[in-house]
Structure 1
C-alpha cells in the first residue's frame, strides 16, 4: 500500500523534500544574515526577533506556493486564488494602511537606522518638536522618553518622514539607566 503510494507520487515526494529542505536552508541563511546585521549594528534583540517573524512569513509563503505547484495545482488556478485572496486582504488593509506603513518603516529602520536605543535625538517638527531619548524600537512605533520623564510613542512612518538630529549617543548610559541591547 505505502509502496504503491510512493511509486505513484515519487516525483512529487522528491520535489517536496527538496523544497522543504531548500526553504529550511533559505530561512536559516536569512536569519543568519539578520543576526549578522544586528550584531554589526548592535541592535536590540527584540528588533531582531521581529525580523525573524517576517522571514518566517516570507519563507512560508514561498514554500506553500511551491508545494501547490509541485502537487499539481495549475498556475492559472493559483493566480485566481492568490489574486482573490490578495484583493480581499488589500481591501481590508486599505482601511488600515498606516499599519502596513509602520511595519514597512520598522523593517527599513532595522536594516538602515543611524540611531540606537539610548541615543538622545531631536525631531524637527514645526507642530510637535521633540527632544527625547530612544527607549525602545518596536514594530509600529518608537518609545521616546523626554527629559521630563514623559513616555512618547512615535510612529515609525512619521519618524522616517521627519528630520532628526542626534543630540547625544548613549544618553541613557550617562543617566545611569539600565538598557537591554
Structure 2
C-alpha cells in the first residue's frame, strides 16, 4: 500500500497515458481499416499496417512512460544514442529489407493496382506481364500466363514503369468456359 501512496501521481499519469494511447490506437486502426476497405485492399495488408501503427504507438508509450517515472533526458539520450548506433550499423546491413517494408507501406496508401489486376512491368532486362496474386510486406506475388509465380520486390515496383493491362483479370480459367479466381 505504501508503494501506491508514494507513486500515486505517477501511477495515475500512467493510467491516463495508457487510456489516451489505447484510444489513439483504436482511432488509427479504424481509419486504416476504412481507408483499406475503401481502396479495396485485402485484409492481410490492412492488418500489417495496423501492426506497424501499434508498434509505433508502443514505442511512443515507452518513451513517455520513462519520463513519467522520472527518467531524465540525459539518461534517455544516452540510452537512445547507444541503441541507434547499434541499430544504424545493423540496419545498414539490411537496408534492402527496410526499403521493401517502407515501399509496402507506401503501396498500401497509394498504389493504383489491386490483387487480380493484370500488369506489365517495363523492366529493360526482365519485362514481366502477369496478374497480381498477392501484395505482401516485402514483395508482390505475380502469376505469369504460363503459371509461373514471380516474386517482385516492393521497392522495385515503385521504381519501374507499370502498365495496367486488365482490371480484375482471371487467375485460373476453368475448362467449362467459366472463370474463377
TM-score, length basis structure 2: 0.94
Considering Cα pairs closer than 8 Å and 6+ residues apart, tell me whether 1 or 2 has the greater RCO: 1
Give the match's secondary structure for 1:42: coil
Match of 1:177 in 2: 180
1:34 aligns with: 32
| Shift, 1:120, TM fit | 0.2
Could you say what secondary structure the match of 1:171 adopts? coil
Cα drift, residue 41 of structure 1:
0.3
The secondary structure found in structure 1 opposite 2:124 is coil
Return the match for 1:143 from 133, 141, 144: 141
Return the offset for 1:5: 2.1
Paired with 2:85 and 2:154, the residues of 1 have a C-alpha distance of 26
Compute the displacement of 1:165 (Å): 0.5
Can you give the 5+ residue segments of structure 2 that lack an aligned partner in the other structure? 174-178
Alignment match of 2:4 (pick from 3, 6, 21): 6
- 1:128 is paired with a residue whose SS is coil
Deviates more, 1:81-90 or 1:63-72: 81-90
Aligned to 1:112: 110
Superposed, 1:73-112 pairs within 5 Å as: 73-112=71-110
Following superposition, the deviation at residue 172 of structure 1 comes to: 2.2
Q: List runs of 5+ in structure 1 lacking aligned partners.
A: none
Q: How many residue pairs align between the two structures?
A: 176
Cα displacement string for residues 119-150 of structure 1 (whole angstroms, at most 9, x for unaligned residues): 00000111111100000000000000011111
String of CA shifts for 1:24-81, please: whole Å, max 9, x gaps. Answer: 0111111001000011001100101111110111010000001011001111111110
Alignment of 1:151-170 (within 5 A): 151-170=149-168
Matches of 2:138 and 2:57, distance apart in 1: 22
